């Protein structure tokens, strides 16, 4: 999946410690009509949101995560290096 042109994968090194990503998973989806939606997930449920205020808040969290993460190519290299095959 990470090799698909529409996917971006970034690994956050353990050395970063606690970060905003610990609050729960999320995915941004850019729709064909140009709209953007957000899928938020926690231990109890997941839901889709399009509220502009929430999109901006999570967008800032995403920017913070990207600032701590390895590049896409470095992330893929690390995953391949650590890959364990049976």
Note whether residue 3 is domain-resident.
no
In the chain, which residues have pLDDT < 70? 86
Q: What's the domain count of the chain?
A: 1
The answer to whether residues 45 and 32 touch, using CB atoms and an 8 Å cutoff, is no
pTM above 0.75, yes or no: no
Tell whether 46 is covered by a domain.
yes
Is there a contact between 71 and 77 (Cβ–Cβ < 8 Å)? no
Residue 38 in domain: yes
Q: Establish if 50 belongs to a structural domain.
A: yes
Domain for residue 35, yes or no?
Answer: yes
- Residue 42 counted as domain residue: yes
* Domain presence at residue 32: yes
Q: What is the pLDDT of residue 38?
A: 94
Contacts of 54 (CB under 8 A, 6+ apart): 38
- Domain with 40 in it: 24-61
pLDDT at position 35, please? Answer: 94
């Amino acid at each position: 999946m990470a090799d698909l042109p529409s996917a971006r994968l970034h690994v956050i090194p353990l050395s970063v410690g606690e970060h905003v990503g610990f609050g729960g998973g999320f995915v941004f989806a850019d729709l064909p009509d140009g709209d953007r939606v957000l899928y938020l997930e926690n231990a109890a449920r997941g839901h889709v949101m399009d509220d502009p205020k929430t999109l901006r808040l999570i967008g800032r969290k995403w920017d913070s995560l990207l600032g701590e993460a390895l590049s896409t190519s470095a992330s893929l290299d690390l995953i391949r290096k650590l890959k364990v095959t049976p």
